[in-house]
């Protein structure tokens, strides 16, 4: 089939070949054509026998969206003589891409994070990392770890030790974790003085460091050593308090109630603390009162601060408001006094402006344009298209079925023979021009401009409109300029780029087919 396709051939009964574009090494042809039914330009790919099935597959993939591309499939023809594909106007490279099979995208597997281990992965040795969890000999030990009893924290009791009263003021008794013990009778207490105890206080040192005398045995020496008099005095005070409580309970004839774990200070307190050493409940109440006092003082400070901020904001707002209102009231009186001045002078100015109306110049009456003739103008090559001047009058005969056409060219720049071609419409007299209408046949694209002049030449002509062919009829309104409506005796249609013709039996596709030109 590729060898039988010539310029002017019709494929599928509607697609006419207008030009060759490219031929591949495998004898695939890329052609320019025209859809004679819809009158639009198309591109045609005529596949060779080896690539016919691939072109059909690519066309179906583009039509269904399975293949991405900038080509729009318009028609696919599969006949006994060959296969051809009709698309929108596209580059030849994009058309030839359709004979190449497109590889299917690889299926992307979701990424699975390998099992985390605390050792280096095997991928550093050139092998993929294993996804299997690693096992160890002591896995059972880790699984049973939560069932083991936990050791007490070494930091327990820091909250109580470092309280708000300061570090070193209070310390919990080492026996605070023991169960409460009932008070014993006085006789039992007396016997307990001679009972050996497991909690023995180490004796004080015989001499001080540096050769002190052994006077520390009777308490007159230094008490900073281990087991000093401070600890002994605290223990003696605790024992005396216990004996006094037991004696009072025996005298009443009832057993003393169980007491909570005791707390005693290491250092002597002064003031209120000295009065509450023997009563823990009184100490807790006093501490709560102190906390409440601190909180109330903090709240009072916050209220005072907020009150000061609000006061400052209120003062600033009052000052700004007073300043703004003062400027309004101070500037209002001159404006009120200035109103009578224009009103008093208005009657005097009215008579002076009335006589100015008759001095205006009258607008000239519009002259309807009447076409008297038409000529061809090619400044670069005056003899170009001279053989078709005999049909120029068909442009202004009022019959849209007749037309003037020039010779066709291989490109839109007149084949390099000229830079422009102008049609000069002559009017009977200088007229007012508001619109130019051009009717043409089977052409799309191109560029032209509309100029007005007092003589049939491009020198000194004024450009009033510009356009191209996107439809059979081109309506170009001529806007008025600063001096009023545009006037002139010659209307020049200057073509600088030729449009592409369709549905013609010609060797080249670029040219003009002008049916009518009207000037209003």
Kindly report, residue by residue over 445-472, the tens digit of the pLDDT: 999 999 999 999 999 999 999 999 999 9
Decide whether 9-98 matches 371-519 in CATH topology. Answer: no
pLDDT score for 113: 56
Q: Is pLDDT of 491 > 80?
A: yes
CA dihedral 499, 501, 506, 512 (to 10 degrees): -50
More confident residue, 342 or 137: 137
* 195 vs 390: CA distance, rounded Å: 151
Could you tell me if 423 and 403 are in contact, meaning their C-beta atoms sit under 8 angstroms apart? no
Could you tell me if 40 and 34 are in contact, meaning their C-beta atoms sit under 8 angstroms apart? yes
Give ∠ CA 502-507-510 in degrees, rounded to 5: 50
Q: Is pLDDT of 373 > 90?
A: yes
Query: CATH 3.30.2010.10: does it fit domain 9-98?
Result: no
Report percent pLDDT > 70 for the chain.
Answer: 55
Average confidence score pLDDT of the chain: 74
Label residue 138 by pLDDT band (50, 70, 90). low
Cβ-based neighbours of 358, under 8 Å, separated by 6 or more? none
Q: Is pLDDT of 94 > 70?
A: yes
pLDDT score for 256: 44
Domain map (residue ranges) of the chain: 9-98, 371-519
Q: What is the pTM of this model?
A: 0.35
Between strands 443-453 and 462-469, the pairing is antiparallel
Give ∠ CA 71-412-468 in degrees, rounded to 5: 80
* 299 vs 295: CA distance, rounded Å: 6
Architecture of the structural domain at 371-519: Sandwich (2.60)
Q: What's the number of CA atoms in the CB half-sphere (13 Å) around residue 348?
A: 5
Q: Which of 39-48, 110-119, 138-147, 262-271 has the highest mean pLDDT?
A: 39-48
């Amino acid at each position: 089939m590729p060898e039988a396709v010539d310029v002017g051939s019709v494929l599928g009964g509607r697609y006419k070949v207008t030009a060759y574009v490219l031929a591949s090494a495998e004898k695939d042809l890329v052609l320019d054509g025209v859809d004679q039914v819809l009158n639009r330009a198309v591109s045609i790919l005529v596949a060779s026998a080896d690539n016919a099935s691939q072109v059909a597959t690519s066309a179906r993939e583009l039509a269904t969206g399975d293949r991405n591309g900038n080509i729009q499939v318009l028609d696919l023809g599969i006949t006994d003589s060959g296969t051809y594909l009709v698309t929108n106007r596209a580059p030849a490279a994009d058309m030839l891409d359709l004979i190449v099979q497109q590889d299917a995208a690889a299926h992307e597997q979701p990424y699975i994070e390998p099992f985390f281990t605390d050792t280096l992965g095997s991928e550093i040795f050139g092998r993929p990392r294993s996804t299997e969890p690693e096992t160890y000999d002591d896995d059972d030990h880790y699984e049973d770890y939560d069932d083991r009893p936990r050791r007490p924290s070494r930091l327990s009791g820091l909250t109580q030790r470092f309280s708000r009263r300061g570090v070193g003021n209070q310390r919990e008794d080492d026996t605070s974790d023991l169960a409460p013990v009932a008070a014993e009778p006085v006789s039992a207490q007396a016997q307990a003085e001679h009972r050996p105890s497991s909690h023995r206080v180490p004796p004080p040192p015989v001499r001080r460091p540096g050769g002190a005398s052994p006077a520390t045995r009777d308490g007159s020496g230094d008490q900073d050593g281990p087991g000093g008099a401070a600890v002994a005095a605290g223990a003696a005070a605790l024992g005396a308090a216990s004996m006094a409580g037991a004696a009072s309970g025996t005298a009443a004839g009832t057993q003393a109630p169980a007491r909570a774990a005791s707390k005693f200070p290491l250092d002597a307190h002064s003031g209120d603390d000295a009065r509450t050493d023997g009563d823990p409940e009184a100490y807790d109440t006093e501490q709560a009162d102190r906390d409440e006092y601190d909180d109330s003082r903090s709240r009072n400070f916050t209220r005072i601060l907020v009150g000061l901020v609000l006061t400052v904001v209120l003062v600033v707002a009052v000052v700004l408001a007073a300043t703004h209102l003062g400027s309004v009231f101070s500037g209002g009186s001159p404006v009120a006094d200035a109103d009578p001045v224009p009103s008093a002078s208005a009657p005097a100015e009215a008579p002076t402006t009335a006589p100015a109306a008759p001095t205006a110049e009258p607008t000239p009456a519009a002259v309807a344009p009447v076409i008297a003739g038409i000529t061809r103008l090619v400044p670069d090559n005056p003899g170009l298209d001279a053989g078709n001047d005999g049909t120029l009058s068909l442009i202004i005969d009022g019959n849209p079925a007749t037309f003037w056409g020039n010779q066709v060219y291989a490109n839109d720049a007149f084949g390099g023979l000229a830079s422009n071609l102008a049609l000069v419409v002559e009017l009977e007299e200088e007229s007012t021009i508001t619109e130019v209408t051009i009717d043409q046949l089977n052409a799309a694209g191109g560029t032209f401009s509309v100029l007005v002049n007092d003589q049939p030449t491009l020198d000194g002509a004024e450009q009033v409109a510009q356009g191209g062919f996107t439809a059979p009829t081109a309506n170009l309104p001529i806007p008025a300029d600063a001096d009023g409506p545009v006037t002139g005796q010659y209307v020049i249609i200057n073509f600088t780029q030729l449009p592409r013709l369709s549905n013609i039996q010609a060797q080249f596709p670029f040219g003009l087919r002008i049916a009518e030109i009207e000037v209003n």
